[in-house]
Amino acid sequence: MDNKLLEYLLSYLTPQRQELFEKVINKRTRHLTVVLEDIFQKQNASAVLRTCDCFGIQDVHIIEDRNEFQVNREIAMGASKWLSLHKYNSKENNALDAIQTLKKQGYRIVATTPHNNDLELQDFDITKGKTALVFGSELPGITETIMQEADEFLKIPMYGFTESFNISVSAAIILHHLTMKMRDSKDLNWQLSDAEKDELKMEWIRRTIKRSELIEKRFWEENKKK
């Protein structure tokens, strides 16, 4: 990361936009991340992205085995512009590829299911380490691969006749609860590092400024002359 380039690009933003970037980035986290497996309804995919942005979740991991992940812009409200989306769609078993990648990054894999023997949301220990929350496809739910590879299983307690919530509702409830516990904890270092913040600011600026590549080119040309 070139800090001089970052400062140069920041100068193209209004003070209000710079202040907003700083405010939002200080609340971003990678302690929690979301994994979406084979979501096929645009409205659900888009609603989850919007929820992740609202609760400060930076990374969303998208598994595409049978279904292509698509976004409804009206529902997402531009959320994907500010998130880091990681797609897994080039392997024979993309679910396994995603889980192995996340485990190498130090995440424990927590599958969300409505089964009776799962840990209930209020009992989940957010302090045990970085957590990847896996949400399965709308009808079949999580696959057998996820079932076998998951470290823990989590469910939202329910008291009606219906077996489960819609996936976007489940994500909203779980993320609201866990991000509150995370932010209230005095023992967790859940915020991004300074290097991660700078890298993310650079991404956001490039997505915000029109023709940012030309501005960067001008920066390098000017610095060559010095």
User: CA 188 to CA 7: how far, in whole Å?
Assistant: 30
Annotated binding site for S-adenosyl-L-methionine: 112, 156
Look-up of token digits 């894999």: 109
Tell me the three state secondary structure of residue 222. helix
Tell me the pTM: 0.91
Tokens linked to 146: 């996820």
**pLDDT digit string (tens) for 150-209?**
999 999 988 888 877 888 999 999 999 999 999 999 889 999 999 999 999 999 999 888
The domain 31-192 belongs to what CATH superfamily?
A: SPOUT methyltransferase, trefoil knot domain (3.40.1280.10)
pLDDT band with cut points at 50, 70 and 90 for residue 69: confident
- Please give the pLDDT value at position 212: 85
**pLDDT digit string (tens) for 4-54?**
888 888 888 999 999 999 999 999 999 999 999 988 787 888 899 999 999
- Please give the pLDDT value at position 161: 85
Q: Where are the domains of the chain?
A: 31-192
Q: Which of 57, 54, 20, 16 is nearest to 36 (CA)?
A: 57
- Please give the pLDDT value at position 183: 96
DSSP secondary structure letter of residue 116 = T
Q: Which of 98, 97, 106 is nearest to 35 (CA)?
A: 98
User: CA 44 to CA 139: how far, in whole Å?
Assistant: 12
Annotated binding site: 112, 156
Tell me the three state secondary structure of residue 184. helix
Does residue 79 have a pLDDT over 80? yes
